[in-house]
């Protein structure tokens, strides 16, 4: 098992479109295990493969309080989304420290494959519905800040680049 590096906005690699998973093999199981470890360590409630620079349709989620309810979604599709929308204050491991309201369907029905390639369907509401949609956006190359106004997005971009520069500076000062 290993902790993977999480790409940070505005890294252009976060905008790559993920391809479907076709091989349900040992490598996939290892990747799922590493993504789960990375998500728990962060800590976060979800992680899309795109965030660790693997551009395949693979998502891990655990919205439980106890961190023992790992859910894996491979090649996920939204089968149905409710008319009803809800605004949730979202955050993202690729945009640390930023939280803002995003409006999305309150409930979704999803079809996906598990790690063995077996299909399942799930009806989600609450945080799970938010998280599935947030992660599926990552697979399409979309980060939640793209729902915010251009002004907010530019402020976030500037803040992220400034923090990155500051970290670089501290790293080189320590050497």
Q: Is 135 a catalytic residue?
A: yes
Give the one entry of Ni ion, ligand GNR, none that residue 76 binds, where binding means its C-beta sits below a cut-off of 5 to 8 angstroms depending on kind.
Answer: none
Spatial contact of 37 and 67, defined as CB atoms under 8 Å apart: no
The owner of tokens 């599935």 is 132
Catalytic residue among 83, 135, 146, 167: 135
| Closest by CA position to 152, among listed 96, 87, 99, 103 | 99
State which residue, 28 or 47, has the beta carbon closest to Ni ion: 47
| Closest by CA position to 3, among listed 43, 44, 47, 34 | 34
Cα–Cα distance for residue pair 33/30, rounded to 1 Å: 5
Q: How does DSSP classify residue 3?
A: P
User: Which residue from 92, 102, 128, 160 is in contact with Ni ion, where contact means CB under 5 A?
Assistant: 92
- Cβ contacts of residue 20 below 8 Å, gap of 6+? 56, 57, 75
Give the one entry of Ni ion, ligand GNR, none that residue 34 binds, where binding means its C-beta sits below a cut-off of 5 to 8 angstroms depending on kind.
Answer: none
State which residue, 28 or 130, has the beta carbon closest to ligand GNR: 130
Give the one entry of Ni ion, ligand GNR, none that residue 90 binds, where binding means its C-beta sits below a cut-off of 5 to 8 angstroms depending on kind.
Answer: ligand GNR
Phi-psi region of 40 (alpha: psi -120 to 50; beta: other; left: phi over 0): alpha
Q: Which one of 62-70, 71-79, 88-96, 114-122 is the stretch in contact with Ni ion (CB under 5 A)?
A: 88-96
Q: Which residues bind ligand GNR (CB under 6 A)?
A: 44-48, 51, 88, 90-94, 130-131, 134-135, 138
State which residue, 71 or 94, has the beta carbon closest to ligand GNR: 94
Residues at the interface with Ni ion (CB under 5 A): 92
Q: Please list the active-site residues.
A: 135
């Amino acid at each position: 098992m290993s902790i993977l590096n999480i790409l940070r906005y505005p890294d252009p690699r976060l905008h790559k479109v993920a391809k479907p998973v076709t091989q349900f093999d040992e490598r996939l199981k290892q990747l799922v295990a590493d993504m789960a470890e990375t998500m728990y360590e962060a800590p976060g409630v979800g992680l899309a493969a795109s965030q660790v620079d693997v551009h395949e349709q693979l998502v891990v989620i655990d919205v439980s309080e106890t961190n023992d309810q790992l859910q894996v979604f491979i090649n996920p599709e939204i089968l149905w989304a409710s008319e009803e929308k809800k605004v949730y204050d979202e955050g993202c491991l690729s945009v640390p420290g930023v939280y803002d309201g995003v409006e999305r369907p309150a409930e979704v029905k999803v079809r996906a494959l598990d790690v063995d390639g077996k299909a399942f369907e799930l009806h989600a509401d609450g945080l799970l519905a938010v998280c599935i949609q947030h992660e599926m956006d990552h697979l399409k190359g979309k980060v939640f800040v793209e729902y915010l106004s251009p002004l907010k997005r530019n402020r976030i971009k500037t803040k992220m680049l400034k923090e990155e520069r500051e970290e670089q500076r501290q790293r080189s000062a320590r050497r």
